[in-house]
Amino acid sequence: MANKPDRPVRILHVVGGMDRGGVESWLMHVLRHVDHNRFSMDFLVHTDRPCFYDDEIRALGSRIIPCLYPSRPWRYGHSFLRALSDYGPFDVVHSHVHHFSGYVLRLAASVGVPGRIAHSFSAPLAIDEPLWRHLYRLAMRRWIRRYATLGLGNSERSMQSLFGASWRDDARWQLSYCGIDLARFQDLGDVSVVRSQHSIPREAIVVGHLGRLAPVKNHQFLIRIAEEISKLHSNVWFLLVGEGPLRQQLQELARRRGLTRVIFTGAVTEVECYLRSMDLFVFPSLWEGLPQSMIEAQAAGLGCLCSDAVTREVAIVPGAVRFLPLAAGARAWADACLAMAGQPKIDPQYALERVSDSPFAIHKSVERLQLLYVEAAA
């Protein structure tokens, strides 16, 4: 099934669902910037509910292909192979579902898909797990080693998480940073509009966060930080941008703590305007691969305070990022927030230039990915 020169390279992305999130947002950056004359992309998702990006994906000429029941391997396998038959042929299957990529790529190999890519975006904490889960991970990693023609990761920790500590010894495993669209940060107009929309005083300090409202992002700790800051300063607001399963629980927690200046925005389209309306970006994640929102925050000229669970590779703009252990406690984080918010702001143009010169610019990311697709399809 080698790629023919008279048609585009056909790629099938496998992802849980195309809602707003780091992986999904990066895939949308890629879809918007890829050469559509040379590459065709479809999305196989593990859900039948509508997702945030579905309409835009279809408007850009790509298809959403539901494939359900990943927890039922036989049923999922039948649906997956039927999707390959009905919507294919595909030159590349690019899987973004971490360990489950082992099964996905095994299925793709069984019908002769030439390019099979496992992509790692996460570096979870080492925690005790049930025996069945440990055996599942071992099996999936073995299948990835056997069936992947290429393995990508967005950070060194992500590479190690999926491909092992000796990943550099196998030429198939390649570190590949995910780029962002920096054109959005060029001219934002009057960024005070965001503050007006949420009734935030112009002179207030705004401490912000951008991320899915899920356990890994550690929003409960963020609310404890907000509580400590509120004891120290009377005019600090907290802008939490994002949607997720914990939203109602977190809003109730903030209400019980009497935190009236914590704002949950939900999902927004112009995240760059929200970032520019902040004075400081805080990111206390429990674990990460390499969070895109940290790159976006630096592109917006923000100082960033993040947990030491985040890889140092994320620090692009000199002096913009400070790492702090979660064990330091909410009060130490509150003190650090106020200290950083009181420092002179980073020149946005300078910050944007530094990110533009880094591997995190979308055009660099897409150029490399296109080369990898051509090689994989051949």
Flag whether 2 is in a domain: no
Flag whether 325 is in a domain: yes
Flag whether 4 is in a domain: no
Which tokens hold the place of 24?
Answer: 């999904």
Domain containing residue 120: 9-179+361-377
Is 341 found in the same domain as 236? yes
Is 76 found in the same domain as 193? no
Q: What is the DSSP letter of 361?
A: B
CATH code of the domain covering residue 365: 3.40.50.2000
Q: What's the structural domain count of the chain?
A: 2
Is 234 found in the same domain as 174? no
Is 194 found in the same domain as 175? no
Q: Which amino acid is at 354?
A: R
Closest C-alpha to 206, from 157, 256, 262: 262
Q: In the chain, what is the straight-line distance between the N-terminal and C-terminal CA atoms, in Å?
A: 9
Is 339 found in the same domain as 373? no
**In this structure, are strands 9-15 and 205-210 parallel, antiparallel, or unpaired?**
unpaired
Flag whether 132 is in a domain: yes
The predicted-structure confidence for 66-115, as pLDDT tens digits, reads as follows 999 999 999 999 999 999 999 999 999 999 999 999 999 999 999 999 99
Query: Per-residue pLDDT for 188 more than 70?
Result: no
Residues 216-228, mean pLDDT to the nearest whole number: 97
Flag whether 1 is in a domain: no
Mean pLDDT value across the chain: 94
Is 133 found in the same domain as 278? no
For residue 121, the SS3 value is: coil
Is 261 found in the same domain as 193? yes
Is 169 found in the same domain as 240? no
Flag whether 304 is in a domain: yes
The predicted-structure confidence for 12-24, as pLDDT tens digits, reads as follows 999 999 998 889 9
CA distance 197 to 176: 38
CA distance 255 to 177: 39
CA distance 189 to 187: 6
Flag whether 174 is in a domain: yes
Residues 211-230, mean pLDDT to the nearest whole number: 96
Is 200 found in the same domain as 142? no
Query: Per-residue pLDDT for 131 more than 90?
Result: no
Q: What is the pLDDT of residue 358?
A: 95
Is 96 found in the same domain as 155? yes
148 touches 141 (CB < 8 A): no
Closest C-alpha to 319, from 275, 361, 353, 351: 351
Query: Per-residue pLDDT for 42 more than 60?
Result: yes
Share above pLDDT 70 across residues of the chain, in percent, rounded to a whole number: 97
The predicted-structure confidence for 340-370, as pLDDT tens digits, reads as follows 998 888 999 999 999 999 999 999 999 999 9
Is 190 found in the same domain as 172? no
Share above pLDDT 90 across residues of the chain, in percent, rounded to a whole number: 87
Closest C-alpha to 360, from 296, 309, 301, 310: 296
Is 202 found in the same domain as 101? no
